[in-house]
Amino acid sequence: MLQNHEIDYKIYGEELQFVEIELDPYETAVAESGAFMMMDNGIEMQTIFGDGSQQQDNSLLGKLFSAGKRLLVGESLFMTAFTNTGMEKKKVSFAAPYTGKIIVFDLKELGGKIIAQKDAFLCAAKGVSIGIEFQKKLGTGIFGGEGFIMEKLEGDGLAFAHAGGYVMEKELKAGEVFKVDTGCIVAYTAGVDFDIEFIKGVKNWMFGGEGLYFATLTGPGKIWIQSLPISRLAGRIIRYAPQTGSRKEEGSILGGLGNLLDGRE
């Protein structure tokens, strides 16, 4: 028997998308604060701690711990639950925060667990657990682009995430290795091994413009890759914005090293 609410949905748009979720009477969807776009009359909105899933500890300490975990993955303290309190089907829509694609994860078909980059989560059927996933390898945590902590989506319902630019889904066979820029990883299934590999050659990492390392994803499992990480887009905007109080050597080798040290690359 499914533990999560069974919701229907439709995605609109090409580059600036939103997802419309159809709720049967007393069905609920949960969303990240700020993702709400519009809804029919008859849907009740409630701000909640955590994700409202059955895995959540409903004690005060449990709720505070859940909220603290959400802060670690860059999310807000609160989530919003949207419940159809009427006797007819109602619709509620959630919008992507920047240009890109909305990804649908059917957790029942994906082994019940997805590991995603921070800030990827958009909304889900009630019952989906949104938690944290610690990187087990020290090097991966320090240099893996997403730090020690990533987002974990668990359950047997639908979850929706957002990524920048074009999104590619790829199935990796057992032992198959795929190399990718660390910032381009959106999500992967639990069976995929995530590690990092240093770029060989001094000239490559000093002048190649691709950083010191890239990620290696080893199958079996599915991976989702984005063509435009928000960090890359923000970096370009900052580069061409008026320089007020920032480093004067922005385009130099030293400037790039400074960006690496202070987490801007």
CA dihedral 45, 48, 50, 56 (to 10 degrees): -100
Q: Is residue 53 part of a domain?
A: yes
Bond preceding residue 220 cis, omega within 30 of 0: yes
Read off the pLDDT of residues 103-161 as tens digits, 9 standing for 90 and up: 999 999 999 999 998 888 999 999 898 888 876 554 444 444 444 578 899 999 999 99
Q: Is residue 248 part of a domain?
A: no
Determine the pLDDT at residue 260. 47
Domain around 31: 8-228
Strands 18-23 and 90-95 come out as: antiparallel
pLDDT level of residue 85 (50, 70, 90 thresholds): very high
Rounded Cα distance between 88 and 219, Å, is 44
Q: Is residue 259 part of a domain?
A: no
Q: Is residue 192 part of a domain?
A: yes
pLDDT at 202 over 60: no
pLDDT at 253 over 50: no
Rg (C-alpha) for the chain, rounded Å, is 20
C-alpha triplet 192, 196, 199: angle, nearest 5°: 140
Q: Is residue 249 part of a domain?
A: no
pLDDT level of residue 235 (50, 70, 90 thresholds): confident
**Mean pLDDT computed over every residue of the chain:** 79
Q: What is the CATH number of the domain that holds 89?
A: 3.60.160.10
The total domain count for the chain is 1
- With contact defined as beta carbons under 8 Å apart, do 188 and 182 qualify? no
pLDDT at 236 over 60: yes
pTM for this entry: 0.77
Q: Is residue 256 part of a domain?
A: no
pLDDT level of residue 215 (50, 70, 90 thresholds): confident
Determine the pLDDT at residue 30. 94
Determine the pLDDT at residue 66. 56
Determine the pLDDT at residue 141. 45
Q: Is residue 65 part of a domain?
A: yes
Q: Is residue 209 part of a domain?
A: yes
